[in-house]
Structure 1
Amino acid sequence: MSDRWQEMVVFVRVAESGSLSRAARELKLSQPSISRIVGTLEARLGTTLLLRTTRSISLTEAGTLYLERAKHLLAEMEEAEQATRGVDSLHGVIRLAMPVLYGTRVIIPALATFLARHPDLRVEMIMSDARQNLITDGVDVAIRLGVGPLEDSTFGARRLALVERLVVAAPAYLSAHGAPTNPAELARHDCIVQHGLFGRESWRFTHNQTVTSLNVSARLWINSAPGILAAAVAGLGIALVTRVMAGEELRTGQLKHLLEPYRLDPAEVYAVFPAGPRPSAKVRAIVDHLGASLDVPD
């Protein structure tokens, strides 16, 4: 490996792992060697790429720019090698970010055949309902659910599925407060709203081609889908969920589907990859697999 390629590989691994020692273990180099290689790269470029403290490593603005370009170049090199060796030789690590409940109930079960097909691939899963910075977190591909335009529009993206959204509540809540018969009645109910995704305070319904948007009264704000689901099952209010998210609870009667004649816009499921429209062969492979598994909509 040339010195410049080694510098690039080492820097990307340090930036993605956030640790000199972890990068050293993964690359089978000593920690002083890792530190020296990064220092040599910074000296050659004449700028600081990483801010180091005793507890953490973070990227400078120059480091973020270099990381994006370096990952792109390394992906192209990997693609050239994979084209020579064939797709069955995919190897390395894919860092895959996903929402907690959708990842648990849909993405993870879909990975079994993919991993069996590619035994030399490893997947590192980052499961969080918070939106990660895909560059600084070293994410190769993120699964994102939302309604409306995607954020990070400069990234590559592929739509994987549409997910039905619905309004639900527990029998205990409905016994105490009654069930709304139209969206306007939600104003007098306690509603549970999720930060950051599609559970914002304004809920938009369509009925007989008439669109109604209203701001619900949020008594609870929760930053995770499992929390939203648990609060709804506990009878703490009315929640906006996806059918994937609450399917089991609806089947068992722990939650009731409300306002059935009124439709909410579906959530779109996307694979987002910061490498741009030409991701690495391994990222393309996992996105293609998920697209086939989740039945991509037209």
Structure 2
Amino acid sequence: MSDRWQEMAVFVRVAESGGLSRAARELNLSQPSVSRIVGTLEARLGITLLLRTTRSISLTEAGTLYLERARYLLAEMEEAEQAARGMDSLHGVIRLAMPVLYGARAVIPALATFLGRHPDLRVEMIMSDARQNLIADGVDVAIRLGVGPLDDSTFGARRLALVERLVVAAPAYLSAYGTPDSPAELARHDCIVQHGLFGRESWRFTHNQTVTSVDVSARLWINSAPGVLAAAIAGLGIALATRIMAGEELRNGQLTQLIETYRLDPAEVYAVFPAGPRPSAKVRAIVDHLEATLSALD
């Protein structure tokens, strides 16, 4: 029976990582061993689970069905073992993806106490403002920050926090071009827009229960939050930022908050589980911790 569990675990890692070599590195096995184990599984079942080419692998229809059930069974086994050992003995690796600036200023500081309580856990972080292929990258949980519905609607998800958004600019920009007092005045200013997270040229405000949308002129489009922050500090225009993202710069005077009587829709912080709505015990533990910590920040 143990060989069957190994076959199942190896197959899931190959399917989620998108390749035999990456799965071999993560499992600390040789690539021929991983290939042999998957081949043995397919031979025992009498079906093809993976279509292999020289550059990639893909799941067959049978492989997709098997992957769903295998994930569930492996999670059940891990939960049973964890219940016997107790939550204090969490171990293994969690691959955690997150946006760059929010990850650096909110998520990473929140991990100190969690990792202190679970010394046998290791966290591998993927920090990027680009939308990763979570399955291909073998991600266990991704922290997603945005406004509106999640793109990855087929994945399991849990909302962790709401984050206040602000309009900000550098004193140098305001000195040169004036300070807008209302959303309507933003239309005549240079604005900085970030691809992905808040990448839109229509900014929506609420004041006294009245909603106002303003089409801004985006002189700069930037694909990362650190880039947006740097451009705003450099006086290149007016930007949207979360309070966590720009809090330090607001306190030290590098940036100024604008149009404070109008409110933007808050950004929502989600944990997304590529493996489905029933993540492993270690993933549930880290998400529980992040929810308790991040929800108190803003």
TM-score by length of 2: 0.90
Q: What do the CA deviations read for 1:141-182 (whole angstroms, capped 9, x no partner)?
A: 111111222232332222211111011111121122111111
The 3 A distance-change label for structure 1 pair 113 and 253 is same
Alpha-carbon distance in structure 2 between the residues aligned to 1:169 and 1:64 = 49
Once the two structures are overlaid, the 10-residue window that deviates more, 118-127 or 144-153, is: 144-153
- Letter paired with 2:176: A
The 3 A distance-change label for structure 1 pair 245 and 279 is same
Divergent runs of 4+, >6 A: none
Aligned match of 1:201: 201
Alignment of 1:1-298 (within 5 A): 2-43=2-43, 44=45, 46-47=47-48, 49-53=50-54, 56-60=55-59, 62=61, 66-295=66-295
Q: What is the CA-CA distance between 1:252 and the residue it aligns to? A: 1.1
Once the two structures are overlaid, the 10-residue window that deviates more, 205-214 or 70-79, is: 70-79
Runs of 5+ in structure 1 lacking a partner? Answer: none
Alpha-carbon distance in structure 2 between the residues aligned to 1:88 and 1:212 = 50
Q: What do the CA deviations read for 1:72-120 (whole angstroms, capped 9, x no partner)?
A: 3211211111111111111111111111101000110110111111111
Q: What do the CA deviations read for 1:22-50 (whole angstroms, capped 9, x no partner)?
A: 53344343332212222333454533525
The number of residue pairs the alignment matches comes to 295
Tell whether the 8 Å contact from 1:199 to 1:240 is kept in structure 2 after alignment. Answer: no
Once the two structures are overlaid, the 10-residue window that deviates more, 91-100 or 149-158, is: 149-158
Alpha-carbon distance in structure 1 between the residues aligned to 2:68 and 2:229 = 37
Once the two structures are overlaid, the 10-residue window that deviates more, 131-140 or 250-259, is: 131-140
Tell whether the 8 Å contact from 2:140 to 2:275 is kept in structure 1 after alignment. Answer: yes
Alpha-carbon distance in structure 2 between the residues aligned to 1:61 and 1:177 = 59
Tell whether the 8 Å contact from 2:189 to 2:217 is kept in structure 1 after alignment. Answer: yes
Alpha-carbon distance in structure 2 between the residues aligned to 1:49 and 1:103 = 35
Alpha-carbon distance in structure 1 between the residues aligned to 2:194 and 2:292 = 29
RMSD value, Cα = 2.2
The 3 A distance-change label for structure 1 pair 35 and 276 is closer
The 3 A distance-change label for structure 1 pair 23 and 157 is closer
Alpha-carbon distance in structure 1 between the residues aligned to 2:31 and 2:9 = 15
Q: What is the CA-CA distance between 1:51 and the residue it aligns to? A: 3.5
Alpha-carbon distance in structure 2 between the residues aligned to 1:112 and 1:87 = 17
TM-score by length of 1: 0.90
Tell whether the 8 Å contact from 1:64 to 1:135 is kept in structure 2 after alignment. Answer: no
1:111 is paired with a residue whose SS is: helix
Tell whether the 8 Å contact from 2:17 to 2:135 is kept in structure 1 after alignment. Answer: no
Alpha-carbon distance in structure 1 between the residues aligned to 2:249 and 2:65 = 45
Alpha-carbon distance in structure 1 between the residues aligned to 2:46 and 2:226 = 46
Q: What is the CA-CA distance between 1:64 and the residue it aligns to? A: 5.5
Tell whether the 8 Å contact from 2:196 to 2:223 is kept in structure 1 after alignment. Answer: yes
- Letter paired with 2:109: P
Tell whether the 8 Å contact from 1:168 to 1:255 is kept in structure 2 after alignment. Answer: yes
Alpha-carbon distance in structure 2 between the residues aligned to 1:46 and 1:37 = 14
Q: What is the CA-CA distance between 1:296 and the residue it aligns to? A: 6.2
Tell whether the 8 Å contact from 1:159 to 1:296 is kept in structure 2 after alignment. Answer: no
Tell whether the 8 Å contact from 2:17 to 2:136 is kept in structure 1 after alignment. Answer: no
Alpha-carbon distance in structure 2 between the residues aligned to 1:28 and 1:162 = 39
Tell whether the 8 Å contact from 2:15 to 2:59 is kept in structure 1 after alignment. Answer: no
The 3 A distance-change label for structure 1 pair 91 and 269 is same
1:46 is paired with a residue whose SS is: coil
Tell whether the 8 Å contact from 2:159 to 2:269 is kept in structure 1 after alignment. Answer: yes
2:76 is paired with a residue whose SS is: helix
The 3 A distance-change label for structure 1 pair 208 and 116 is same
